[in-house]
């Protein structure tokens, strides 16, 4: 197990290095730079700015500096948010996205799995049909529509939640719900399909024939097997959800990391783009690793040598 984890960590480091290199190349090949402006052009000033930000150095030199700095955990200074390090900015924005993401992940897993099981048990009955209609809607209606409707009703008409931000705490409800809608719908369907498949297996019939209670059949036997595809999906899903959504953060006025990422790309804030990309990459790699380890506990057939 330890050996397996070590192997995975090494693979992860290579992945992250590759992502950094790719990001660096892409970022430097798109037109525009952090100092491009629509102002009157002044040659002396442009030179001074290039010198200050090190943009006049050859790309290879800048690339090496990135890698070395990152190896030391230093993500560098933001080009555009004067005097702030990338680490500080991520540290300020991430907690919001993380909190929303964790609550949303909880909702997704609990409600998604439950709804999936219920639908599977009541296959083709009203409850099943009804849940499937809901999940289709949830997966197809874009999140900004949900977000706007939510704010219109609960903030504007009813005045129950703030129009923006997370103060008071009721401000979290909307973003969490809207964030979870899509994945919840997906997990419901995933769980339903795989549950139906498991319930038709021979060993379930055997278990039932042995007179085991239906509750036990469902929770101990069928669910344990049926949940495997969900576990696979949940790893990257958690990584995606906790790294924030640009749209949702924008509509709900939340100072999270999702909107930060988009704005840094648009303004060509190189250090911020790199910092957030690497941060996301590390997070995703970590989540997948956790899922792989979790498999061992969920499915005793899997053993890592």
Q: What does the binding site for other proteins look like in residue numbers (CB under 8 A)? A: 30-33, 35-45, 47-49, 51-52, 77, 80-84, 88-89, 92-93, 111, 114-115, 118, 121-122, 127, 130-131, 134, 137, 146, 148-157, 159, 162-165, 177, 214, 250-253, 255-256, 259-260, 266-268
Q: Which is nearer to other proteins, 161 or 230 (CB)?
A: 161
Alpha helices in the chain (DSSP H): 2-29, 43-53, 59-71, 86-121, 126-140, 143-150, 173-199, 202-209, 214-216, 223-226, 228-242, 246-251, 257-266, 270-298
Q: How many other CB atoms are there within 10 angstroms of residue 272's CB atom? A: 27
Q: Which is nearer to other proteins, 198 or 285 (CB)?
A: 198
Q: What SS3 class is residue 152?
A: helix
In the complex, minimum distance from the CB of residue 49 to other proteins, in angstroms, rounded to a whole number? 5
Q: Which is nearer to other proteins, 97 or 288 (CB)?
A: 97
In the complex, minimum distance from the CB of residue 266 to other proteins, in angstroms, rounded to a whole number? 7
Cα separation, 125 vs 196, in Å, equals 13
Token pair 């999702």 in the structure block, residue: 258
Q: Which is nearer to other proteins, 35 or 296 (CB)?
A: 35
Q: Which is nearer to other proteins, 152 or 203 (CB)?
A: 152
In the complex, minimum distance from the CB of residue 55 to other proteins, in angstroms, rounded to a whole number? 11
Find the radius of gyration of the CA atoms of the chain: 24
In the complex, minimum distance from the CB of residue 211 to other proteins, in angstroms, rounded to a whole number? 16
The phi, psi pair for 77, rounded to 5°, reads -90, 145
């Amino acid at each position: 197990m330890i050996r397996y984890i070590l192997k995975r960590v090494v693979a992860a480091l290579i992945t992250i290095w590759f992502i950094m290199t790719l990001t660096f190349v892409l970022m430097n090949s798109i037109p525009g730079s952090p100092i491009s402006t629509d102002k009157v052009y002044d040659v002396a000033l442009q030179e001074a700015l290039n010198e200050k930000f090190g943009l006049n150095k050859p790309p290879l030199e800048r690339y090496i500096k990135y890698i070395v700095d990152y190896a030391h955990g230093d993500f560098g200074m933001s080009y555009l948010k004067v005097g702030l390090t990338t680490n500080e900015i991520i540290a300020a924005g991430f907690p919001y996205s993380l909190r929303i993401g964790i609550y949303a992940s909880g909702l997704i897993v609990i409600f998604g799995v439950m709804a999936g099981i219920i639908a599977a048990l009541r296959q083709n009955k009203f409850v099943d049909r009804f849940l499937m209609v809901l999940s289709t809607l949830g997966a197809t209606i874009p999140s900004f529509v949900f977000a706007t409707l939510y704010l219109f009703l609960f903030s504007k008409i009813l005045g129950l939640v703030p129009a923006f931000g997370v103060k008071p705490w009721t401000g979290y409800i909307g973003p969490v719900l809207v964030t979870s809608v899509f994945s919840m719908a997906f997990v419901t369907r995933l769980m339903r399909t795989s549950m139906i498949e498991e319930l038709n297996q021979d060993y379930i019939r055997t278990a039932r024939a042995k007179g085991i209670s239906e509750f036990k059949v469902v929770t101990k036997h069928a669910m344990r097997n049926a949940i495997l595809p969900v576990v696979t999906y949940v790893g990257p899903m958690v990584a995606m959800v906790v790294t924030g959504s640009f749209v949702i953060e924008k509509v709900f006025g939340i100072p999270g990391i999702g909107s930060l990422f988009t704005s840094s790309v648009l303004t060509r804030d190189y250090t911020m783009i790199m910092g957030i990309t690497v941060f996301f990459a590390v997070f995703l790699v970590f989540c997948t690793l956790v899922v792989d380890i979790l498999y061992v506990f969920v499915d005793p057939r899997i053993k890592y040598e």
